[in-house]
């Protein structure tokens, strides 16, 4: 994905999207959506698109992912950490994330994954989610986040 990303600008008009932002020696992702859960899903897409092209990857399985209630930023980090974990440990690349809110304030959903060996590398493989300058919250058009990924 080009630095311009996908979707509208910053969650305006109920659109969802993401973009990579230049950042020294790391990757910075900005994502937005009309809901907290759609914003998380866009951050997942943005993370994966920074290092791989997945167009030819066949879905292998769905990995359930339930995140308990807590600070929104922690919820985002938990999901992105799982994307990196699946890549490093299981050799699986996330093709899609879908989430719904839970009554207690967490999120429930899952990640559709495929064989990472089928993906085409386009950037440095992520190593960790940085907590430095992390933001995630409501804005005038929905939700937005910005997160730095160590590569």
pLDDT digits (tens, 9 = 90+) for 62-94: 999 999 999 999 999 999 999 999 999 999 999
In a domain, 6, yes or no: no
Name the helix (H) or strand (E) containing 80.
helix 72-85
Our count of domains for the chain comes to 1
> 49 CB contacts (<8 Å, ≥6 apart)?
1, 18, 20, 122
Domain that holds residue 29: 12-150
Within-domain flag for 19? yes
Evaluate whether residue 103 is within a structural domain: yes
Flag whether 3 is in a domain. no
Give the model's pLDDT for residue 8.
47
Query: Quick check: is 2 in a domain?
Result: no
Which residues neighbour 62 within 8 Å (Cβ) at sequence distance 6 or greater? 110, 111, 112, 113
pLDDT at 9 over 50: no
7 in a structural domain: no
Mean pLDDT, rounded, of the chain: 89
**Is the pLDDT confidence value at 10 over 50?**
no
**106 in a domain, yes or no?**
yes
| CATH number for position 135 | 3.55.10.10
Question: Over the stretch 31-44, which tens digit does the pLDDT of each residue have?
Answer: 999 999 999 999 99
């Amino acid at each position: 994905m080009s630095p311009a990303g996908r979707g509208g600008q910053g969650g305006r008009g109920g659109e969802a999207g993401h973009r990579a932002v230049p950042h020294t020696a790391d990757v910075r992702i900005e994502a937005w959506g009309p809901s907290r859960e759609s914003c998380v899903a866009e951050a997942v897409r943005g993370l994966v698109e920074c290092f791989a092209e997945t167009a030819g990857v066949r879905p292998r399985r769905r990995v359930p992912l339930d995140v308990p209630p807590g600070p929104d930023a922690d919820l985002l980090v938990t999901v992105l950490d799982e994307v990196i974990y699946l890549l490093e440990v299981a050799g699986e690349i996330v093709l899609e994330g879908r989430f719904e809110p839970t009554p207690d304030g967490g999120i429930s959903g899952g990640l559709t994954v495929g064989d990472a060996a089928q993906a085409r590398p386009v950037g440095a493989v992520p190593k960790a989610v940085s907590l430095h300058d992390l933001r995630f919250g409501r804005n005038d058009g929905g939700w937005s986040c910005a997160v730095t990924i160590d590569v």
